[in-house]
Structure 1
Amino acid sequence: MSLQLPSEIVVERFLPTVRVLLARALDERGFTQQEIADRLGVTQAAVSRYVSGDADIEDRIADDPHTARTVETVADGFESGTLDEYEALAELSALVDELEDRGPICAIHEAEMPALAGLGCDLCVRGDDDRLRAEREVLADVRKAARLFARTEGTARVVPNVGTNVGTALPDATDHADVAAIPGRIYEMDGRVEVPANPEFGASRHVAGTVLAAAAVDSTVRAAINVRTDEALLDAARDRGFDPLRVDAGYEDRDSRLRERFREDGVRPVVYHEGAFGIEPITYVLGETAVDAVRRLGDLLPAAASDR
């Protein structure tokens, strides 16, 4: 893996692009090439290259609306005399912050360092703190679990029509935004399981609600995966001593009702409902991690298949 600091992206991609855009904007406003050079701290020859169209720019930065607004603000300020160099620098520094916060600088950084892809990295914004490490661990867990589910034999037949999702909560999770899952859900196509995207926080409601309800009663349970309710699968769970917990299918006050059931009957490894009008029957397999939940499901599938 090649290590590259975000600041390298700023120096090598952001700064040259913004200089070109500013030079062209000032040229359109009637500034001479020498005046532009003095403003930007470059040579007149460089400005000539910028405005002639010969200079390379980073399209992902140039096309971002934050970049366009900032370039216009700085150029207008220079033209009207309402913005000095210090204030222009402040505008550009704020733009860097915007583009680093899941913006094009972040995207370029992930492209240069593929190991960052899918981690939800916000190192530039928040730094390397304990919560960031926890978020990375949760995202990695969901990513591994989704891949394990996709390559486990027999999973395609238990993907419900609404799709499967797998989620893991942060240790101190309080709402759905603290649970990572797969955006768009995992789906079945032509007998194959397809994982459409890398995990993100806040990408699920029902799996996240189930996880949060379970974690509120048993803090060791922080993950779940949903599949189609299947009697053979439930029988396999009973044979393993899991005693699946049947819950109501209704959406109204769902999360609070789940928490109450877990308080009354305990958090069990397999939780299911039989559906209702407009609600597909769904089973949740729980675990300490998403990988644990998928492995538990994988252990049940061969027995469920033999019952058919």
Structure 2
Amino acid sequence: MTVQLPSQIVVDRFLPTARSMLASALSERGFAQRDIADRLGVSQAAVSGYLAGERGEEERFAEHPRMQATVERIADGFESGRMDDYEALAELLELVREFEDRGPICAVHEEEMPALEGMGCDLCVRGRDRAVQAERDVLSNVRRAVRTFANAPAVAAHVPNVGTNVAMALPEATDETDVAAVPGRIHAMRGGINVPSNPEFGASQHVATTLLAAAAADPSIRGAVNLATSDDLLAAAPEDAVAFDADYEDRRDRLEARFADGVPRVVYHEGAFGIEPITYVLGETAVEAVETATDLIARANREA
């Protein structure tokens, strides 16, 4: 018997299977072999081999519904542009963790090391750090929301001079360090949208303050985006949109009091001396908040 780490199973059996399945899925979506090779980090000859079926797949992985769903989700994400390489890697790593926890990787590992048989693979199960997973999920959601916002039509005119931010809070968030947003904010530039960097925790102050006040009143509200307040935007806003005083002092406390009877999806102020008028759109996630905001912008543009 040889000592074999589960990582060897991942490299020797899981990774070739994932690459083969992704190569086929991307080819079906019209990707050229050169583009598939770039995506998978392999040579074009390797892609040709995958598509010709010359590189065997591990059936226990290839036939697993979770593996098939993950491959399809990544391929659809690459095709639509809604998933980047970072998110694809996150999807595959999550699948590896699941397969290592009494899953197919565990089964293959037991075959390679019979001494593990009947042990339930407890030697390899590390237990998920749910706090870390929650942070990853929030950052991933904000990234998707930012891409949606940046690619939406005609949003640049509704970005405030101080910039827009897209934010999402962790469950049971208490302060700004529990809220992920874009450092430096998102700005309109030459009619388009400039996103300076990837989201980080603690990168927002004003959007985070509004979001934390909303979450304190309704924990299901964890996403927010800010826009420039305008007559057109307010005309398109839902009837339950709530106005509040623009002053920064005690803003969170004042907002929590306003939200005591429920949290609307749109809250706004009309500015003050040195304070630009801002509208905040809320949602259960950053993606939902941005989708609501872009719908609001579309209505405002139609009615303008």
**2:289 pairs with one of 290, 293, 300:** 293
Residues 222 and 289, structure 1, Cα contact 8 Å, conserved in 2: yes
Note the 1:30-45 alignment, pairs <5 A: none
- How many percent of aligned residue pairs carry the same amino acid? 58
Question: Alpha-carbon deviations, 1:25-50, whole Å to 9, x = none?
Answer: xxxxxxxxxxxxxxxxxxxxxxxxxx
1:276 corresponds to 2:247: no
1:217 corresponds to 2:214: no
Length, aligned pairs only:
192
- In the alignment, the residues of structure 1 paired with residue 176 and residue 281 of structure 2 have an alpha-carbon distance, to the nearest angstrom, of 18
**Residue of structure 2 in register with 1:303 after alignment:** 299
Seen in structure 2, the aligned counterparts of structure 1 residues 118 and 304 have a Cα distance that, compared at 3 Å, is: farther
Shift of 1:128: 4.5
**Residue of structure 2 in register with 1:108 after alignment:** none
- In the alignment, the residues of structure 2 paired with residue 303 and residue 202 of structure 1 have an alpha-carbon distance, to the nearest angstrom, of 32
- In the alignment, the residues of structure 2 paired with residue 117 and residue 176 of structure 1 have an alpha-carbon distance, to the nearest angstrom, of 28
- In the alignment, the residues of structure 2 paired with residue 291 and residue 115 of structure 1 have an alpha-carbon distance, to the nearest angstrom, of 18
**Residue of structure 2 in register with 1:250 after alignment:** 247
Q: TM-score normalized by structure 2? A: 0.59
SS state at 1:211 partner = helix
Residues 118 and 199, structure 1, Cα contact 8 Å, conserved in 2: no
- In the alignment, the residues of structure 1 paired with residue 198 and residue 226 of structure 2 have an alpha-carbon distance, to the nearest angstrom, of 17
1:202 corresponds to 2:202: yes
- In the alignment, the residues of structure 2 paired with residue 118 and residue 277 of structure 1 have an alpha-carbon distance, to the nearest angstrom, of 47
**Residue of structure 1 in register with 2:138 after alignment:** 138
Seen in structure 2, the aligned counterparts of structure 1 residues 118 and 229 have a Cα distance that, compared at 3 Å, is: farther
Seen in structure 2, the aligned counterparts of structure 1 residues 117 and 258 have a Cα distance that, compared at 3 Å, is: farther
Gaps in structure 1 of 5+ consecutive residues: 6-113, 120-126
Shift of 1:307: 1.8
Shift of 1:177: 0.2
SS state at 2:257 partner = helix
Shift of 1:115: 2.6
Shift of 1:117: 11
Return the letter of the residue paired with 1:147. Answer: R
Residues 158 and 297, structure 2, Cα contact 8 Å, conserved in 1: no
Question: Alpha-carbon deviations, 1:87-130, whole Å to 9, x = none?
Answer: xxxxxxxxxxxxxxxxxxxxxxxxxxx638999xxxxxxx9500
Structure possessing the higher radius of gyration over alpha carbons? 1
SS state at 1:227 partner = strand
Residues 172 and 219, structure 2, Cα contact 8 Å, conserved in 1: no
- In the alignment, the residues of structure 2 paired with residue 190 and residue 300 of structure 1 have an alpha-carbon distance, to the nearest angstrom, of 22
Q: Which runs of 4+ in 1 moved over 4 A?
A: 116-119
Shift of 1:306: 1.9
Root-mean-square deviation (Å): 2.8
Gaps in structure 2 of 5+ consecutive residues: 1-6, 9-84, 91-126
- In the alignment, the residues of structure 2 paired with residue 278 and residue 237 of structure 1 have an alpha-carbon distance, to the nearest angstrom, of 25
Residues 167 and 223, structure 2, Cα contact 8 Å, conserved in 1: yes
- In the alignment, the residues of structure 2 paired with residue 138 and residue 237 of structure 1 have an alpha-carbon distance, to the nearest angstrom, of 27
Seen in structure 2, the aligned counterparts of structure 1 residues 118 and 270 have a Cα distance that, compared at 3 Å, is: farther
Note the 1:1-308 alignment, pairs <5 A: 115=86, 128-238=128-238, 241=239, 243-263=240-260, 265-308=261-304
SS state at 1:160 partner = coil
- In the alignment, the residues of structure 1 paired with residue 128 and residue 204 of structure 2 have an alpha-carbon distance, to the nearest angstrom, of 26
Residues 271 and 278, structure 2, Cα contact 8 Å, conserved in 1: yes
Return the letter of the residue paired with 2:148. Answer: L
Return the letter of the residue paired with 1:280. Answer: E
Q: TM-score normalized by structure 1? A: 0.58
Shift of 1:261: 1.0
